[in-house]
Each structure stands twice: as C-alpha cells, then as structure tokens.
Amino acid sequence: IETTRRTIERDLHWLSRFFPVTADESRPRGWSWKTDRESIQIPRMDSLTALALLLAHETLRPIFPPALLENWERYQRDAERALAESSLRDWRRHVTVLSSNVQAPPKLSDWTLSRILEALESRCQLAFTYHAQGQNDGKGHRVSPWGVVLQEGTLYLVAYHHGRETPLLYACHRMSKARLQKEPAQEMPADFSLRTFARTNLRFAVQGSPITLRVQAKLQIAHLLEERPIGAHQ
C-alpha cells in the first residue's frame, strides 16, 4: 500500500479520538500510546493468561527485566479485570508458594539488580565491586554478563571475565557499585548451557571421592527421607 506521511498523520489524529494515542511537539511528530491510560488488549486477555501473568510476577519478579516492570501496573490492571469476569477470579486465594529454606534469602539492592538485568538486556559489559565471603575489602571486576540463576531465593550472575577459560559465578548480593559500561559484552557461545553450568557449580562440592552415607533415624524421619530423598549430587 503506497501512502504519504501526511495521510498517516491525518489517520492518527482521527484514531486519537477513540484510542489512547498522543503526539509530541517534535518535527516530524512522534506518536505513542499514552502512558497514563489503560492498555488496549486486542484480542482481550483471556483468564488463563491473566492468572499465569499474575502468578509469574509474584514468583519471578527478581529476574524480570526493568523495562517490563516499568509497564507492569497496566498489565496488572488488565489481568485483574480479566480474572474478575471469569471463574478463576478467586483462584489465587486457593494457591500459594512457600519455600522450605531454613535461611532467609540474602538482601539484594534494587540498584544492583537493575544494573545486572540492564547489562544482560543491552548486552554490554558490567563493572562492580565484589566482596568475597570472609573478606572486608572488595575487589573491582569488569565482566561480560551471560545470565542469571535464581536458586532458593539467591540470585547468581554467570559472567565471562577476560582472560579466563571458563565463566565465573558471582553471588549478586555481594556486589556493590554496579555500573554499565559502553563496551559490548563478549557473546555467550552457542554451545554454552547456562542450566548445565549452574547445576555443576551450584552444589555442595568437597575434595575427595564420593562416600556411602548410612543414616540411623526414627521411623517417622525414615518415611520423610523415602518421600524426599537426599540429592545424590550433595
């Protein structure tokens, strides 16, 4: 379809009478959705999508990109409205997710989390100060982020450090003064598996050969161990 910019602008003016679109004062004008209006769902969000969206936000918020969270309130209103008109409107009252951890997850600042996710999203290098366990003085690092791993409430950064053969693992709550760099990050190899790397490195590992562990326990505890065996990787 061949048309002119003037024709498109005239159509946008007409559409603005019915839809929340607006123009700025630049030349040529830039058009966008109004940020203070409810979003338009075409087609309308179904109840299953709405429920999945709300539950995902409650569980996975620590690893959502900042750009997604900026618009979250509009999505939340759409999801809440879609659920209110369906048979799933009370479903979240009947479902909850708990952690069996004895320890509470470490505190991670919003600033550090935002910088990490922004570096991943923009594929740029990240600089930060890392405070290793048991050390008071931090050490400066400059890395290429490859991914994040969320394990029992603790967030880890998997990143490539120039000059190292394998990527390194950083506990994000031990990072401070995180800042994005202009230089592009080293791309993650196509054959690199974040899941395999995390499973290999985030485990209880000790030097030496595997041992056979024999446990003497009361009958009730034995039944619990039958239902939930101790992981063979520990």
State the CB neighbour count (10 A cutoff) for residue 231: 8
Q: Can you name the residues that pair with 184 across neighbouring β-strands?
A: 124
State CA 117 to chain mean position distance: 7
Mean model confidence pLDDT for the chain: 83
Confidence class of residue 233 from pLDDT cuts 50, 70 and 90? low
DSSP structural state of residue 124: E
pLDDT for residue 232: 67
CA 102/CA 189 separation, integer angstroms: 37
Tokens of 233: 């990787």
Distances, alpha carbon 47 to alpha carbons 7, 52, 78, 87, in Å = 38, 9, 10, 8
169: closest CA among 152, 193, 149? Answer: 149
What dihedral do alpha carbons 33, 39, 43, 49 form, nearest 10°? 140
Most confident of 165-169, 176-180, 208-212, 218-222: 176-180
Q: Is the pLDDT of residue 104 over 90?
A: no
Confidence class of residue 172 from pLDDT cuts 50, 70 and 90? very high
Q: Is the pLDDT of residue 185 over 90?
A: yes
Query: Token pair 């690092």 is at which residue?
Result: 141
Which domains does the chain show, CATH number per domain? 1-37 (no CATH), 42-98 (no CATH), 110-201 (2.30.30.140)
Half-sphere exposure of 160 (CA within 13 A, CB side): 17
Tokens of 213: 């562990």
CA 178/CA 171 separation, integer angstroms: 13
C-beta separation of 150 from 108 below 8 A: no
Cis peptide upstream of residue 43 (ω within 30 degrees of 0): yes
C-beta separation of 31 from 21 below 8 A: yes
CA 87/CA 97 separation, integer angstroms: 21
Q: 194 vs 34, which has greater pLDDT? A: 194
Please write the tens of the pLDDT for every residue from 13-35: 888 888 888 888 888 888 888 77
Taking each helix axis from N to C end, the angle separating 72-84 and 47-60, rounded to the nearest 10 degrees, works out to: 130
CA 175/CA 173 separation, integer angstroms: 5
